[in-house]
Amino acid sequence: MNRIFKNTSALFGAHLVGRLGALVITIWLMPRYFTENELGGFFVAIALTNLIASLTELGIDNPLVREMTLNLSDTRHYLGNSLLVRLVLSIVAFTLMIVSAMVLRYEPIILTMILYLGLSEIVNSLAQLFRAVFRAHEEMKYEAWTVVAERSTYVLIGGAAILLGYGIISVCQVMLIASGINLILSIGYTRYRFTSLGFKPSRKIVVRVMQQALPFAVGNLFNLLYFRIDAIMLSKLSPDGLDANTWYGLAYSIVNALTTLPGAFMMGAMFPILSRLYVNEPDRLSHAYTFGVRWMVICAVPLAVGLSIISHDLTAVLFPKYTSDVLGKIGTVLQWLSVTGGMVFLTTVVFAVLRAADKRAVFSVIMGTTALLNISLNFFLIPRYSHIGAAIALIISEVFLMIIGFGYISKRITKLDEIVFIPKVLILSAVMGVGLILLKGILSVWILIPLAMLFYSGGIVIWREFRVQYEST
């Protein structure tokens, strides 16, 4: 099997198991043991800390992978100097988290959650630097092991804490413990498998990485703004208050768990290859690009179609404690967000190619425009349509990003070799969707999901679109 698929399988498997495990906590246990208000506050704390924690990255991670990939012998020096920068940024980010929570006047329990979740984000951001080493050396199995260890700790200990009657603050504390395990393992694997931790401070390396990182830092911040600002704005603008965060957050968690693949595939396995081809073999870049787009389209369309059709049936099964009115609200927002889930696969391709081609200014402009559009839409839609308005704003933003991003790539960087796979995917997804509509009132959703997957994957194989090599033939 191609190395891309080995690395993708390792990352995807680990992150999928991790997210599915976290879903057990988020959508199975939490709604049963905590009030809607508590759960809404949890989602707000997650959004706020995740957004501000992006300052610790400051766009460093992907340029760091790129530089390490091109200069493997200097891995420890790039890692060490980047770690110094991140430690300083972590202090700044954590301070901002606490100050922001106080300025927004969140109640004490949310402030406490932000404290623990913020520390967890900081520790994970430090671990992410070591994961850059694994990705640069194209040994993603080590990242996969750290993910499994972290998520297993959270699921097992966090789940036990909830079942034993501990409060939502305890869940946040467990997340911090799990992050610490992630960091310890990441350091250990780096030290004993790839490089020593001793390094020489170098102004040249810091300047080189930061010159590439800062434009991406702005773009990354804008990216997180349009993905996370909706939850913060919901808590302040929605007529339903924190309950709207619960409805939106539960639906978003389901979609987020199902969009593990694009990150593992494009930003994990494909990114080092795209970076290397862009610099050293530009004539082969279009083949790798087409390969990535093909697989993202193959996965994106059936996800969006299938999840939108079974959204209400799925929420009824997952959240039996809630009333039919609340289930309807969660199911409807899940229906809207399923479209966003599909588009995430494609916009991840845009992120990966722009970063691999080092199009820093372009990335920042596109993401800044998209974030501004999303914030403006949220200001208009949330007061009127609450959680549904936030979902619609996200969809419009993703469409805008996809059109502008692919347009630029096609004009300035590379083009697709062929698009014959697109009509095949659309036909198979449409037939699958019709089948789901006809059968969803007859069969259980747990039977419908594997049946739909079996039918669709079988069609992809029969139409010879299951390809594991990106090289031209």
Over residues 418-435, the pLDDT tens digits come to 888 899 999 999 999 999
pLDDT band at 469 (very low <50, low <70, confident <90, very high): low
From 108-117, 189-198, 328-337, 461-470, the region with the lowest mean pLDDT = 461-470
In a domain, 427, yes or no: no
The Cβ of residue 471 has, within 10 Å, a number of other Cβ atoms equal to: 9
The pLDDT value recorded for residue 330 is: 95
pLDDT higher than threshold 70 for residue 38: yes
Position with higher pLDDT, 171 vs 135: 171
**What tens digit of pLDDT does each residue of 103-121 get?**
988 989 999 999 999 999 9
In a domain, 446, yes or no: no
Residue where the block lists tokens 């004539």: 283
- CA-based nearest residue to 175, from 30, 351, 376: 30
Q: Region 403-415: what's the mean pLDDT?
A: 94
Position with higher pLDDT, 63 vs 274: 274
Position with higher pLDDT, 467 vs 393: 393
**What tens digit of pLDDT does each residue of 299-339 get?**
999 999 999 999 999 999 999 889 999 999 999 999 999 99
3-class DSSP assignment, residue 200 = coil
The pLDDT value recorded for residue 1 is: 43
pLDDT band at 181 (very low <50, low <70, confident <90, very high): very high
pLDDT higher than threshold 60 for residue 471: no
Give the separation between CA 136 and CA 116, rounded to whole angstroms: 31
**What tens digit of pLDDT does each residue of 199-251 get?**
777 777 778 777 777 766 777 777 777 777 888 999 899 999 889 999 999 99
pLDDT band at 472 (very low <50, low <70, confident <90, very high): very low
The pLDDT value recorded for residue 10 is: 64
The H-assigned helical ranges of 409-470 are 421-439, 445-462
In a domain, 16, yes or no: yes
In a domain, 453, yes or no: no
* Spatial CB neighbours of 299, under 8 Å, sequence gap ≥ 6: 261, 262, 345
Helical axes 61-70 vs 271-280, angle rounded to 10°: 60
Position with higher pLDDT, 135 vs 12: 135
In a domain, 426, yes or no: no
Give the separation between CA 290 and CA 471, rounded to whole angstroms: 10
Q: Region 260-274: what's the mean pLDDT?
A: 75
Give the separation between CA 473 and CA 466, rounded to whole angstroms: 15
Residue 241 backbone zone (phi > 0: left; psi -120 to 50: alpha; other: beta): left
In a domain, 471, yes or no: no
In a domain, 434, yes or no: no
How confident is the prediction for the chain on average, in pLDDT? 86
Position with higher pLDDT, 473 vs 247: 247
From 68-82, 177-191, 394-408, the region with the lowest mean pLDDT = 68-82
Q: In total, how many domains does the chain have?
A: 1
Residue 166, Cβ density class (10 Å: 0-12 exposed, 13-18 middle, ≥19 buried): middle
What global pTM score does this model have? Answer: 0.81
Is the CB of residue 112 less than 8 Å from the CB of residue 42? no
Cα–Cα separations (whole angstroms), residue 315 to 37, 271, 429? 19, 35, 22
pLDDT higher than threshold 80 for residue 57: no
Give the separation between CA 317 and CA 409, rounded to whole angstroms: 42
Q: Region 441-468: what's the mean pLDDT?
A: 88
- CA-based nearest residue to 339, from 260, 265, 259, 262: 259
| Percentage of the chain modeled with pLDDT above 90 | 48
- CA-based nearest residue to 229, from 350, 347, 346, 394: 394
The Cβ of residue 426 has, within 10 Å, a number of other Cβ atoms equal to: 13
Is the CB of residue 12 less than 8 Å from the CB of residue 259? no
In a domain, 424, yes or no: no
pLDDT higher than threshold 60 for residue 59: yes
The pLDDT value recorded for residue 256 is: 84
From 54-58, 112-116, 123-127, 209-213, the region with the lowest mean pLDDT = 209-213
Position with higher pLDDT, 447 vs 367: 447
Q: Region 332-358: what's the mean pLDDT?
A: 92
Give the separation between CA 21 and CA 422, rounded to whole angstroms: 33
The pLDDT value recorded for residue 13 is: 67
Tokens of 390: 């936030």
The pLDDT value recorded for residue 223 is: 73
Q: Region 67-88: what's the mean pLDDT?
A: 79
Give the separation between CA 117 and CA 204, rounded to whole angstroms: 34
User: Which residue range is the domain that position 409 belongs to?
Assistant: 3-419
pLDDT higher than threshold 90 for residue 414: yes
